[in-house]
Structure 1
Amino acid sequence: MSEWQALGERTVYENRWVRVGMADVVLPDGRHLDHTVIRLRPVAVAAVLNEHDEVLLLWRHRFITGAWAFELPSGGTADGEDPAHAAAREFEEETGWRPGPMRLLLAVDPMPGISTSHHRVYWTDQARRVGEPRDAFESTRREWVPLARVPELVTDGRIRSANTIAALLLLHHLRPESQNR
């Protein structure tokens, strides 16, 4: 089995958030093709559980897909920024809660066939309210949702984001006590 080989890449668009490139790729059978590559900053995601096995989620509208859904707080990681710190920072900015020590839950690449968008999801079971969210525009409301409801919310489309689905289903699986509530 052979790998695809990128001979080079040229930038077709770039701003501070994204760079879109066109790669010259050689397939294992020798054919060449142009392949779009979307390069994004790494994303840090925060899942915070309370003592009742509830997770704090944002209810928000995404104009790109035209959908309302629950999501975990997340954002881009700045150059040189520790991803765990970025996850905690984003969580506090978007919820008004300061999380405790963050532990890596999982790392995912939601679209590895076209994008370098690498998501690192951190979690903690400690948080304290520190005030109103600085970035309240990020969501319509913030809600503590029982982890036991996650499968239902995924199934009925009220959780749609791939990183949120992966993280919450894994937490649901790892914390069986939440299923007994």
Structure 2
Amino acid sequence: MKKFEEKTVSTEKIFEGKVISLQVDVVELPDGNKSKREIIKHPGAVAIIAITAENKIIMVEQYRKAMDRSIVEIPAGKLEKGEEPVHTAVRELEEETGYESEWMEHITSFYTSPGFADEIVHLYFAHNLRKKENAAPCDEDEFVEVYELSLEEAELYMKEGRICDAKTAYAVQYLQLRKALEL
């Protein structure tokens, strides 16, 4: 038995959408009592730290309806069914930015909100970027503007609240740590 395991007694599907689904689980707690858990199921995603030869971070600005505003973030995208995360990273980098990389290095994977969602983000570092001549277009419902920011500019965007999502903040802090360790 896993420490503090909650055994699922029943699951009720509430909503099935294009990207997520919502379910309510009745669980048996470690002490034998029962409780309900509202859970969002998500296929997972990738995010890419992409640095140009000029040491600029590739970012995209896009509108996020849940926040009702545009934010600046690292390129990212949802895993397609059966797709390996590294292949998603290659595809999303090209579609969102027009760049391709020689190879992708997996940095880490993390859960975005484990209290109520199973979404996992696989973070990659794109090596040896080059602009692709005939890059694949963005998804039909996706509108982005590509930015090339220095680390200092990204830090300023964080202070200004233009960068405010967890994956991008994680990426900026990762780059800050890499820079500090190089000294």
1:36-73 per-position Cα deviation (integer Å, ceiling 9, x unaligned): 11001110111110123211000122122112211111
Partners of 1:107 and 1:163 lie apart in 2 by 10
Question: Is 1:119 aligned with 2:121?
Answer: yes
Name stretches of at least 5 consecutive residues in structure 2 with no aligned partner: none
Name stretches of at least 5 consecutive residues in structure 1 with no aligned partner: none
Q: TM-score, normalised by structure 1?
A: 0.87
Partners of 1:105 and 1:155 lie apart in 2 by 25
Partners of 1:140 and 1:82 lie apart in 2 by 24
- Displacement of 1:177 in angstroms is 8.2
1:128-169 per-position Cα deviation (integer Å, ceiling 9, x unaligned): 111466118634421110123333322221111111111221
How many residue pairs are counted as aligned between the two chains? Answer: 179
Equivalent residue in structure 1 for 2:21, among 19, 22, 28: 19
- Displacement of 1:22 in angstroms is 0.7
**Alignment map for 1:133-172 (pairs within 5 Å):** 134-135=137-138, 138-172=142-176
**Alignment map for 1:66-145 (pairs within 5 Å):** 66-131=68-133, 134-135=137-138, 138-145=142-149
What is the percentage of aligned positions where both structures have the same residue? 21
Partners of 1:45 and 1:28 lie apart in 2 by 36
- Displacement of 1:91 in angstroms is 0.9
Question: Is 1:64 aligned with 2:37?
Answer: no
Q: What is the DSSP-based 3-state SS (H/G/I as helix, E as strand, rest coil) of the residue aligned with 1:85?
A: helix
Partners of 2:179 and 2:126 lie apart in 1 by 13
- Displacement of 1:115 in angstroms is 0.4
Q: TM-score, normalised by structure 2?
A: 0.87
Task: Give, as a single letter, the amino acid of the residue that structure 1 aligns with 2:114.
Answer: P
Structure 1 stretches of at least 4 aligned residues deviating more than 4 Å after TM superposition: none
Corresponding position of 2:34: 32
| Preserved CA contact (<8 Å) 2:105 2:127 | no
| Preserved CA contact (<8 Å) 1:105 1:167 | no
